[in-house]
Chains A and B, each alone.
Chain A
Amino acid sequence: MDFPINPPIGERVRRKETQRFVTGTGRFVDDLLPPGTLHASFTRSPCAHARINSVDASAALTMPGVRAVFTGKDIADRIKPMRVGGSPLLRPLKLYPLAVDKIRYFGEPVAVVVADNRYLAEDAVEAIAIDYEPLPAVIDPEAALEPGATPVHDVLGGNKVYKFHFATDGIDEIFAKADVVVKERIRSHRITACPIEPRAYLAHYSPDEDSLTMWSATANPHSLRGRIADVINFPEGKIRVIAPDVGGSFGVKIQTYQEELLLPFISRELGRPIKWCETRVEHMRNGRHGRDQIHYIEMALKKDGTILGLRDRIIADMGSTYTVDHSIMASALYMTGVYQIQNYAVDATGVSTNKTTHGSLRGIGKADAAYVIERLVDIAARKLNIDPIDIRMKNFIPAESFPYRNVTGALYDSGQYHLCLKRTAEIAGYEKLKQEQAELRKKGICRGIGVALVMEPTSSSRIHATGGYASCRMRIDPSGAATVFSSMGEQGQGHETTIAQIVASQTGIPFEKITVIHGDTLPTPYGFGTGSSRSSVVLMPSAWVAAKKMREKLVGIGARLIGVPPERLEIGDGKVFAKEKRDQAIAIAEIIRTAYGAIHLLPENMEPGLETMGTFVNPNIDYAPDDKGRMNTFSSYPYAGVIAVVDVDVETGFINIVRYCTVHDCGNMINPQIVDTQQQGSIMQGIGAALYEELRYDEEGRLLSSTFMDYRLPCVEEVPELALEHIVTPNPFTPLGAKGAGETGMLGPPPALCNAVEDALAPLGVKIRETPLTPDRILDLIEKAKSSHG
């Protein structure tokens, strides 16, 4: 592979898209208001599990401005059920966008009101009378698996909805013979992504044209188009999905939602544009949730810290109407992390409960795996009295072993884990930190140092969720400006800038003259959504392929016009010129004029015009498991070393992050500024997950954290001193050498901060197995440790 990072690739170019955001002229779904738009509002279940005896909308229908009300029963025989499952390992379900006869989670939509404005629609929602017959709520995923537990889905009989097993030969013997076995129950708690823009949809069916335009705050427009076509039974070719500016996703907007399928149906019924913008409370209750896995994990080691084997039993809370198995699958396949562990067994069970649907969230599944393994290695180090850096160095996959085939068949593209952690220790001043810690302890200050090296499999691809390719089509206009049509939309990633950097680098068209169009299914080539950090792994290479083809065309025409063979030509300064004799040159403007107007001068067999299509297929994916069940579902493997320093106040339970040091390797960076900013945001999201954020349910299945008051995102006051560096190990499987860059940051804080806090409180004997590390939890742990030692 070649890694042509010619400028402006690799430069900290200012983002094109920023200008419209600072002037308030960005266009989000809620900003759109076609004439005649009606507004939807949903009645949502006030309980977690119940039968619906009746829904009475008669009073609502008489209220001012109300145009229609739809219930589950109204739609069930008029639309097709939503596609649920996708993975052959998930048990299929038949579900509709509105609950028909049974409620399965708190906040599930039961009926929808359509009215002249959002206030009137919300008024009428209050007037819908629903008779529920409550059922016992299934909340604890372990209890849900007990015999006799109430089934969430009657048709399934029980709550076990997913099963995955993998084991290497002789694993039990390895554990029997090991010097030491470290065994723990570790849970990753339930959180959600919380983009600041909630979900928003606007469906506009035009009776005159018999066509549907759907504006959606989605990260997956092309897939959504097919799903709408399926559910409302309308030709895909007559549907146009547009994702305009989208205010963040972090995974939560890549999936398809009930409301997103229902609005097109209603618009078609009423022949009017229908808009719905989610409230924050609705988002917390109905947007996809993530994490929430319990691991019973054990590690076999030699006394010197060499890891011999790993055995895990995973119980994953999938929520009520599970949609994907990526979370549990990724955890099961990547539990061995960055270590040379070739003896491994895993038994993974997915459980249905009366909670909100589980799905994509920045670091899905991989974050749980990184958290659990990085905690367990630390716990083992403490038990064996080995330094947490030393035990990692002893077991890391060495740089010379890449590409490295892990035990479950994943092929890690590249990495320098030893170098990365060494550098992290250097920038953190690790040895000095340990001395300071000892000094501070004498003064009664509980300082902790937490180490982690987290690896993030990125750019996933599975059969029927095929993210393993992406496309860009490009055109140089007769005027000399270029337009690129990208198969993937953006929600803050800066594609308009990075794609333009790549195209400018290859074609010589100035960066300022390149426009990138994305998120609209009409002009853009088909492709899977923006998630799994796949933009830099498949989309950017596809732009490079399109631009390379364009370059070849420009050079080919130039060669013909000046009579120099193409291999001796170069592009630069708005010209195509001979490498050895720069005055043998022709302006690109002249080449463009020739391509469109003087086509008799084009090389033989060359098509007129300047349009190219680039598709990149990542070669590092296995679409089917081998005979031992091994597979590689992710194509690139960025990672980051972390050393976090914390002070814990034992009086208040408050954790102060003194410093957070990280060294990140995402391969070549197309725009290091964009990577840096994204890393900082990703780290803060991880800090939120570790310290503040948790979706808590009461025993009756009501979500207790439905607003930003009780689900606390980190604000500016919580930003710690941050030291961020990169090392670069190019990805050998893509032409740009880039790996995914969006998620690794978020993986670091949960293990690093837990390790640091446990280290800080080690003299008290505190053990951390539950998160987030809120002050009340810390105080509780200190109290428990005191009483058990007391």
Chain B
Amino acid sequence: MANISLTVNGETRSGEAESRTLLVHFLRDTLRLTGTHVGCVVGRCGACTVMWNGAPVKSCMVFAVQTDGDEVVTVEGLARDKRLHPLQEAFWKKDAVECGYCTPGMLMSAYGLLSNGKTPTEAEIKKAISGNLCRCTGYGNIVAAIREAAGNFK
């Protein structure tokens, strides 16, 4: 058991973690940030995607102790001052959500894509969320939402 401390959504958070504790379980069970979901625990469904040191990662594929001292952003960190992030707005407007289970992971993968400030191509959008599974929407509206959030799309 180790005590780890990391910056989550801009705040310093710490807690006990076994060496085998997955980051997703640390976020959910220890820090009680339950927006990050578990769908397969083997890195295929993407429901647990978070930003780790500026890049999207499946948090079931990372041990919590690996993130000691690092920076993590979860879906709870997207909205600022109760104002939705443009991606959240776009997901809502474009009806990119049904059951909502895959949504946080989709948002974080998209956030990773857009955080470099460039306008992505359709192929780049698809590549960015190709590791995130959605069973409800058929993806079309999700792609449209990311395109909308990215601003004018060539």
Q: Which of B56-107 contact A (CB under 8 A)?
A: 74-76, 78-79, 84, 88, 91-93, 95, 97-104, 107
Q: Decide: A21 and B100 in contact? CB cutoff 8 A.
A: yes
In the complex, what residues of A have CB within 8 A of residue B130's CB?
715-717
Interface residues of B in 28-45 (CB under 8 A from A): 28-29, 32-42, 44-45
A24 touches B75 (CB 8 A): yes
A33 touching B74 by the CB < 8 A rule?
A: no
B7: interface (CB < 8 Å):
no
- CB-based contact B21/A673 at 8 Å: no
Please tell me which one of the listed residues B25, B42, B142 contacts residue A707 in the complex, with CB atoms under 8 A apart: B42
Asked whether A19 lies within 8 Å of B135 as measured between CB atoms, the reply is no
A196-B135 contact, Cβ under 8 Å, with A23-B84, A716-B142: yes
A508 within 8 A of B: no
A245 near B100: Cβ-Cβ < 8 Å: yes
Contact B35 A25 (CB under 8 A): yes
Complex CA distance for A247 and B102, rounded to whole angstroms: 8
Given A23-B88, A195-B135, A716-B126, also A15-B42 (CB < 8 A): no
Pair A197/B76 contact, Cβ less than 8 Å: no
Q: In whole angstroms, what is the CA distance A27 to B32 when docked?
A: 12
- Which residues of A come within 8 Å of B, CB atoms? 14-15, 17-28, 30-31, 33, 117-119, 193-198, 245-248, 250, 277, 279-280, 491-494, 673-674, 676-685, 707-709, 713, 715-717, 719, 722
**Nearest CB to that of A677 among chain B residues?**
B95
- B71 smallest CB distance to A (angstroms): 18
A632-B88 Cα distance, complex, nearest whole Å: 45
Smallest distance from the beta carbon of B75 to chain A beta carbons, Å?
4
Contacts of B42 in A (CB 8 A): 280, 707-709
13 pairs from A and B in contact (CB 8 Å cutoff):
A14-B92, A23-B35, A24-B33, A196-B101, A247-B37, A280-B40, A280-B45, A680-B140, A683-B138, A684-B139, A685-B135, A707-B40, A717-B130
Q: Which residues of B contact A24 (CB under 8 A)?
A: 33-36, 74-76, 78, 104
Nearest 10 interchain pairs by C-beta: A24-B35, A21-B100, A247-B101, A492-B99, A680-B138, A492-B98, A24-B75, A31-B34, A708-B44, A684-B138
A677, B135: Cβ atoms closer than 8 Å: no
Q: Is B5 at the interface (CB under 8 A from chain A)?
A: no
Give B141 Cβ to nearest chain A Cβ, in Å: 6
Which of A17, A25, A117, A197 gathers most chain B CB within 10 Å? A197
Please tell me if the beta carbons of A196 and B138 are within 8 angstroms of each other in the complex.
Answer: no
Tell me whether B11 is interfacial, beta carbon within 8 Å.
Answer: no
A680 to B88: give the CA distance in the assembly, Å: 21
Are B134 and A708 in touch, CB under 8 angstroms? no
Taking a contact as CB atoms under 8 Å apart, the answer to whether A20 and B100 are in contact is yes
Tell which of A196, A677, A709 has the most Cβ of chain B within 10 Å.
A196
Contact B44 A681 (CB under 8 A): no
Chain A's nearest CB lies how many Å from the CB of B27?
A: 11
The CB with the most chain B CB atoms within 10 A, among A245, A246, A676, A716, is that of A716
Cα–Cα, bound, A193→B135 (Å): 9
The residues of B that contact A678 with a CB separation of less than 8 Å are: 98, 136
CB of A716 within 8 A of CB of B139, answer: yes
Q: Does the CB pair A716–B136 fall under 8 Å?
A: no
Q: Once the chains bind, are A722 and B140 in contact (CB under 8 Å)?
A: yes
Cβ-neighbour of B97 out of A21, A193, A195, A250 (below 8 A): A21
Q: Is the CB of A15 within 8 A of B95?
A: yes
Counting CB contacts under 8 A, is B47 at the interface? yes
Q: Please name the residue on chain A nearest to B128 by beta carbon.
A: A716
Contact of A247 among B40, B100, B126, B140 (CB under 8 A): B100
Closest partner residue, chain B, to A195 (CB atom): B135
From known contacts A22-B107, A30-B34, infer whether A673 and B95 are also in contact, taking CB-CB under 8 Å. Answer: yes
Contact B92 A19 (CB under 8 A): yes
Check: B53 CB closer than 8 A to any chain A CB.
no
Contact B137 A680 (CB under 8 A): yes
Please tell me if the beta carbons of B18 and A119 are within 8 angstroms of each other in the complex. Answer: yes
CB distance from A513 to the nearest CB of B (A): 19
- Residue of B with least CB distance to A22: B88
Residue interface mask B95-132, A partner, CB < 8 A = 1: 10111111110010000000000000000001101111
A673 proximity list for chain B (CB < 8 A) = 95
Closest to A724 in B: B140
The answer to whether B6 has its CB under 8 Å from any CB of chain A is no
Q: Decide: B84 and A719 in contact? CB cutoff 8 A.
A: no
User: How far, in Å, is A380 (CB) from chain B's closest CB?
Assistant: 32
A250 contacts B135, CB within 8 Å?
Answer: yes
Task: Tell me whether A248 and B133 are in contact in the complex, defined as CB-CB below 8 angstroms, given that A24-B36, A197-B101 are known contacts.
Answer: no
The answer to the question of B150 belonging to the interface, with a C-beta cut-off of 8 Å to chain A, is no
A675 shortest CB reach to chain B, Å: 10
Whether A28 contacts B138 in the complex (CB less than 8 A), given A673-B95, A716-B143, comes out as no
A18 contact from B40, B91, B126, Cβ within 8 A? B91
Min CB distance A56 to B, Å, is 26
A18-B135 CB under 8 A given contacts A23-B76, A247-B101: no
Of all chain A residues, which has the CB nearest B100? A21
The verdict on A196 contacting B134 (CB below 8 Å), with A22-B84, A26-B100, A681-B98 known, is: yes
B76 neighbours in A (Cβ, 8 Å): 23-25
User: Is the pair B99, A197 in contact by a Cβ cutoff of 8 Å?
Assistant: yes
CB contact between A14 and one of B93, B107, B143 (< 8 Å): that residue: B93
Instruction: Check if B37 sits within 8 Å of A28, measured CB to CB.
Output: yes
Tell me the complex Cα distance, A512–B129, Å. Answer: 32
Q: B18 to chain A: which residues have CB within 8 Å?
A: 119
Contact B99 A18 (CB under 8 A): no
Residues of A within 8 A of B97 (CB): 15, 18, 21-22
Docked-complex contact A248 and B99, CB < 8 angstroms: yes
Give the CA-CA distance A492 to B141 in the complex, in Å.
15
Which one, B93, B100, B131, contacts A17 given CB within 8 A? B100
CA distance in complex: A25, B95 (Å): 17
Query: Which residue of chain A has its CB nearest to the CB of B90?
Result: A22
Residues of B within 8 A of A21 (CB): 97, 99-100, 103-104
Report A272 CB to chain B, min CB distance, Å.
17
CA distance A17 to B140 in the complex (A): 19
- Return chain A residues, CB-CB under 8 Å to B45: 196, 280, 708
Report how far A717 CA is from B127 CA in the complex, Å: 7
Return the chain B residue nearest A712 by Cβ. B44
Instruction: Report Cα–Cα, A543/B143, bound state, in Å.
Output: 34
Please pick, from A277, A494, A708, A719, the residue contacting B139 in the complex, using a CB distance under 8 A: A719
Q: List A contacts of B34 (CB < 8 A).
A: 24, 27-28, 30-31
Whether A674 contacts B84 by the Cβ 8 Å rule is no
Residues of A within 8 A of B79 (CB): 23
Given known contacts A22-B91, A280-B39, A196 and B99 CB-to-CB distance under 8 angstroms = yes
Question: A30 contacts which chain B residues (CB < 8 A)?
Answer: 28, 34, 37-38
Q: Name the A residues within 8 Å of B134 (CB-CB).
A: 196, 681
Complex: A494 Cα to B100 Cα, angstroms? 11
Q: Per a CB cutoff under 8 Å, which of A31, A248, A277 touches B98?
A: A248
- Given A23-B79, A23-B88: A33 touches B29 (CB 8 Å cut-off): yes
A118 to B137, CA, bound (A): 31
Cα(A506)–Cα(B35), bound, Å: 36
Q: Is B154 an interface residue (CB 8 A)?
A: no
Q: Which B residues touch A715, using CB under 8 A?
A: 130-133, 139
- Can you name the residue of chain B whose Cβ is closest to the Cβ of A718? B139
* B133 and A708 contacting across the interface, CB-CB below 8 Å: yes
- Give A117 to B1 CA distance when docked, in angstroms: 14
In contact, A196 and B133 (Cβ under 8 angstroms): yes
Check A708–B40 contact: CB distance below 8 A.
yes
List the B side residues contacting A713 at CB < 8 Å.
133, 135
**Which residues of the partner chain B approach A708 to less than 8 Å between Cβ atoms?**
40, 42, 44-45, 133
A709 to B127, CA, bound (A): 18
Cα separation A50 to B136 with both chains bound (whole Å):
38
Closest chain B residue to A491, Cβ basis: B99
Closest residue on chain B to residue A25 by CB atoms: B35
Across the interface, B126 reaches (CB within 8 A) one of A684, A717, A722, namely A717
Shortest distance from the beta carbon of B42 to any chain A beta carbon, whole Å? 6
**Digit string of B6-34 for contact with A (CB within 8 Å is 1, else 0)?**
00000000000010110001001100111
Measured between C-beta atoms, what is the minimum distance from B40 to chain A in Å?
4
Given contacts A680-B140, A722-B140, contact A196 B104 (CB under 8 A): no
